[in-house]
Chain A
Amino acid sequence: MSAWSGTAFAAARVPSPVAALVGRGAVRVLFFGGLVLIFLPLVLTVYLSFFDERLIIFPPHAYTLRWYTEVVPHFAGPLLTTLEVAAVAVPGSLLLGVPAGLALVRRDFRGKGAVGTLLLAPLTVPLIAVGLAIYLFSVTIEELTNAPLAGSFLVLLAGHLMVTTPWVVRLVVASLVNQDRAAEEAAASLGASPLTVFRRVTLPAMRQGLIAATLFSFIATFGELEMTLFLVSPGMTTLPIAILGYLKYHIDPLIAAATVMQMALIGAALALLDRFVIRLGQIVR
């Protein structure tokens, strides 16, 4: 009975061909509109970076590659600072995050959920608030101990370690969770020492997770803006802050070229990642 009334209902509500056509057209417009919204700014940036003009002038009188040679000299200081921070923050977060991720998957103890939440918290808290908080914290400690902390490289580094470590924890946990413990136990029962088990069994199993953790923590520290705003000081600024400052007053081919170079660097990192780690999309979500 209900099946009958169901089909009658369906038959009564078959949309007219015109409505169906309009609907399909609307979906198509949204589909291509969405792609334009995502990719048009990137395409425009690449296009502008080749202009042989000091400003945006359409159409340019010529095209040039010279802006790409000027990017590194122009942003040398901030680029160096960014790379210095990354050079410490990436290995540092691996040293902190890998053992933590291991413990979260392989050990059982009370309060595990709470520790897990704490370690991943920096991924959810608005970093603009955290940046302000870290700066005020460093000022307060400086007042108490006279240690020159406010605006120091050490505090900048600590902040970036806080941003990168959760990525490492998350990716190490993700790479170990589906890993069978039987191989480790078999190695141990065959007489391998705990260190040998870790070196010969656990570590190779984590390989993909470690590569992903290295690249993601690099991307996270390289692009960090909101927190870093509060931690830079005169003479010590990072690339995203320098680019933001530049963009407030100019929009020109030089900054477009800088953006394209950043795009290429991150694209290369992601392509590399995609070769080693399958299902990249799942890590991001």
Chain B
Amino acid sequence: MSSTSLSIVAPAAGRRRDLSAGLLLGPASLLILVTLAAPLLLLFRYSLDRFDPTKLIIPAVTASNYLHFVTDSFYLGILRLTIEVAAGSTFLCLLFGAPIAYRLARTQSRAKSAMVLALILPLFMGATARTVGWMILFSHGGILNLGVGLFAPHARFDMMYTPTAVMIGILSFNLPYMVLMLQAVFERIDPFLEEAAWGLGAAPARAFWRVVFPLSLPGLAIATILCFILSMNAYATPVLLGGPRFHMMAPQVYIEFAANNDWPFAAVIAFILMATTILLAVVANRVIPAHYRAP
């Protein structure tokens, strides 16, 4: 979105202007180089060091930390669980998000802007604040616990600290984002196309699946990828709803750093998390048929 707006070509400019562009862009670029690019490069360097529980970090150039990750079933399990939770919540996000987005895209009422505002508010509240409500519902003695207790007094039913709880938390967190992205996708499809399909005798469901759905595929794919990446990187939701024994990638980065003091391995997990999300995004982009891709 922003990259397209950046490619707007300004009229030809002279040498003096080049200098002023450097002055205008210099400070901000320097900030990002010092606080993002350089630290990430150094993080990669750290990931090649050796770690010893007593002597801590031993400078080296070795891939052993990466090998440790890919050969240890505990860590591979964490990666698999992270991908499973992210995939599950993303699929549900599409399922629950599409009907809301579609209805929002095809309404012109005054309520629409209020609805969009209502969707944006939770988006900016942060994962911690959004999880509080689910904790009230799931926690021991929480509403769900009490509700089950009414019907089956002796049943032990704890939703807290289960993969399902984490999945619901992440789903709920990403859903407004998915709805807003899909709303934009559906809005770009001319409603006349559906009306034409109805006029030709297609039922609304058939018009949706045969006309709107194929046209929305590229946007749907991009929204799915973004939602998946967000879910992969989730931190607060798995920590709070999954509990101390539920391991996903982002919380594990912090655990290796803070609890085990193993900085090189924390760096490895961070890089594998980044690489997986980027790789999946690239693969998914390839899977979209060329003629569906945005020009």
Residues of A with Cβ closer than 8 Å to B?
7, 10-11, 13-15, 20, 23-24, 27-28, 30-31, 33-35, 37-45, 48, 55-58, 95-97, 99-100, 102-109, 112-113, 115-122, 125-130, 132-137, 140, 158-159, 161-162, 165-166, 169-170, 173-174, 177, 181, 219, 223, 225-226, 229-230, 240, 243-244, 247-248, 251, 255-256, 259, 262-263, 266-267, 270-271, 274, 280-282, 284-285
Contact = CB atoms under 8 A, between A and B. Distances in A.
A223 B28 contact: no
A270 B122 CA distance: 11
Interface stretch (B60-68, B96-104, B151-159, B282-290): B96-104
Contacts of B11: 108, 181
B184 to A, nearest CB: 6
B112 to A, nearest CB: 10
The A interface is mostly helix, strand or loop, or mixed, namely helix
Contact of A100 (B29, B240, B266): B29
A39 B96 CA distance: 13
B8 interface: yes
25 contacts: A13-B206, A34-B99, A38-B179, A39-B118, A41-B137, A45-B129, A45-B132, A45-B136, A99-B24, A100-B28, A107-B13, A109-B21, A113-B6, A119-B29, A119-B32, A129-B270, A132-B263, A135-B257, A161-B31, A173-B2, A174-B2, A230-B257, A266-B121, A270-B117, A284-B123
B138 to A, nearest CB: 9
A281 B120 contact: yes
Contact of B46 (A97, A121, A136, A285): A136
Contact of B35 (A134, A270, A280): A134
Interface in B232-261: 233, 235-236, 239-240, 250, 253-254, 257
Shortest 3 CB-CB distances between A and B: which pairs?
A41-B133, A133-B39, A34-B96
B5 A165 contact: no
A132 B270 contact: yes
A128 B25 contact: no
Interface residues of B, number: 105
A61 B54 CA distance: 54
A112 B177 CA distance: 29
B141 A11 contact: no
B6 to A, nearest CB: 4
Interface string B1-13: 1110111111111
The B interface is mostly helix, strand or loop, or mixed, namely helix
Given A129-B271, A251-B132, 5 more contacts: A38-B176, A100-B25, A129-B43, A133-B270, A173-B2
A255 B132 contact: yes
A118 to B, nearest CB: 6
A165 B33 CA distance: 13
A182 to B, nearest CB: 12
Contacts, number: 305
A109 B14 CA distance: 10
A15 B20 CA distance: 66
Interface of B: 1-3, 5-13, 17-18, 20-25, 27-29, 31-40, 42-43, 46, 95-100, 103, 113, 116-137, 139, 141-143, 146, 168, 171-172, 175-177, 179-181, 183-184, 200-203, 205-206, 233, 235-236, 239-240, 250, 253-254, 257, 263, 266-267, 270-271, 273-274, 277
Contact of B201 (A11, A24, A177): A11
B100 A34 contact: yes
B38 to A, nearest CB: 6
B139 A20 contact: no
Given A34-B179, A133-B42, A159-B35, A107 B120 contact: no
Contacts of A136: 39, 42-43, 46, 263, 267
Contacts of B40: 125, 129-130, 133
A37 B172 CA distance: 5
Nearest to A168: B28
A284 B25 contact: no
Contact of B24 (A10, A30, A107, A170): A107
Contact of A99 (B27, B42, B117, B266): B27
Contact of B20 (A10, A43, A107): A107
Contacts of A11: 201
Contact of A137 (B39, B117, B239): B39
Residue with the greatest number of chain B CB neighbours at <10 A, chosen from A13, A55, A263: A263
Contacts of B125: 223, 259, 262-263, 266
A237 B46 CA distance: 26
B100 A15 contact: no
Contacts of B98: 30
Contact of B31 (A45, A162, A259): A162
Contact of A130 (B27, B39, B131, B132): B39
A122 B103 contact: no
Contact of B28 (A30, A31, A55, A119): A119
A176 B239 CA distance: 41
Residue with the greatest number of chain A CB neighbours at <10 A, chosen from B2, B27, B97, B129: B129
